Amino acid sequence: MADYGEWNRKGATLSDVTAKKEYGVDREFIVKGIRAGKLEYREGAMWGNPYLRLLRSQLEKYIAEELGQDNLANEKNKTELQKIKREITRLKKSLKELEDRKIELERMMK
């Protein structure tokens, strides 16, 4: 069972859609875990679209049991790499804009 307040802690829960993106598991895998009693869930709906809210810690434990610790680590690394690449791209764009503005200001000062 979940610890007291775990459902309310930031980052402790995720939806089934986010689980697919971050861990590469589909809804059927999640439902199988729910039916086996390994995963607690809460139902939710956003704009009329239903989703399952899960506890991240339980999902990671279930993935490690069913698919192996290596699979879990690999999927987590892929997700982290995507976030890093996205941040690098954002920073490069910001740097380019700042460099352009710097050149413009230097021209105005001459």
pLDDT at 4 over 90: no
Other CB atoms within 10 Å distance of the CB of residue 71: 15
13 touches 55 (CB < 8 A): yes
C-alpha–C-alpha distance, residues 55 and 74, integer Å:
20
29 CB burial (10 A radius; 0-12, 13-18, 19+):
buried
In this predicted model, what pLDDT tens digit does every residue of 6-55 receive, in sequence order?
A: 889 999 999 999 999 999 999 999 999 999 999 999 999 999 999 999 99
| pTM to 2 decimal places | 0.77
